[in-house]
Structure 1
Amino acid sequence: MAIVKSELIKQLKKSYPNFLTRDLTKIIDIVIKEIKVSLKRNEGVELRGFGTFRTNIQKASIRRNPKTGEKVSVPKKQTIKWKMSKDLFKKLNNEKE
């Protein structure tokens, strides 16, 4: 199951009961907004212990519609690449440091 923003806020509320829910919501919104703004400016975002976000340019190409076999032109576009940190990789794979 994926965690959604409301679940993240509930978890933070359990860990930090002195914070108001609206303040936690605003903090999460600010962090997400700043990540988006940085990526929009083609800057990388590094969250230590979690991973890095970088933009990537996907070249224009001609692909096939799998249903009809018809050729489809796909324009150039920007995508986001995420790479997990070594710490997160080790935690996910139960490796000790």
Structure 2
Amino acid sequence: MAIVKSKLIKELKKSYPNFLIRDLDKVVEIILKEIKETLKRGEGVELRNFGTFRVNIQKASIRRNPKTGEKVSVPKKRTIKWKMSKDLFKKLNNEKE
């Protein structure tokens, strides 16, 4: 099951009961906004012990519509590539350091 922002804020509230929910919501919003703006500038984002986000540029190409077989021109676009950290990999695979 995926975690949504509201559930993340509830979990933060359990861990930090002295903070107000609106303050935790604002902190999460600021963090997500900074990540988005950094990626929009074409820079990478590194979150230690979690992973890195990088901007990947897909070049323009001509592809085929599978339904009609017609050739379609796809413009150049930017995508996000995420790579998990070694620590997260070890935790997911129950490996000891």
Q: If the length of structure 2 is used for normalisation, what is the TM-score? A: 0.97
Q: Which runs of 5+ in 1 are unaligned?
A: none
Provide the residue aligned with 1:7 in structure 2.
7
Following TM superposition, the consecutive aligned residue runs of length 4 or more in structure 1 with deviations greater than 6 angstroms are none
- Give the count of matched residue pairs: 97
Cα separation, 2, equivalents of 1:2 and 1:59: 31
Q: Which runs of 5+ in 2 are unaligned?
A: none
Cα offset for 1:58?
0.4
| Higher alpha-carbon deviation: 63-72 or 46-55 | 63-72
Provide the residue aligned with 1:53 in structure 2.
53
**CA displacement 1:12-36 (0-9 Å, x = unmatched):** 0011110000000000000000001
- Counterpart amino acid of residue 9 in structure 1: I
Partner of 2:35, secondary structure, is helix
- Counterpart amino acid of residue 18 in structure 2: N
Cα offset for 1:66?
1.5
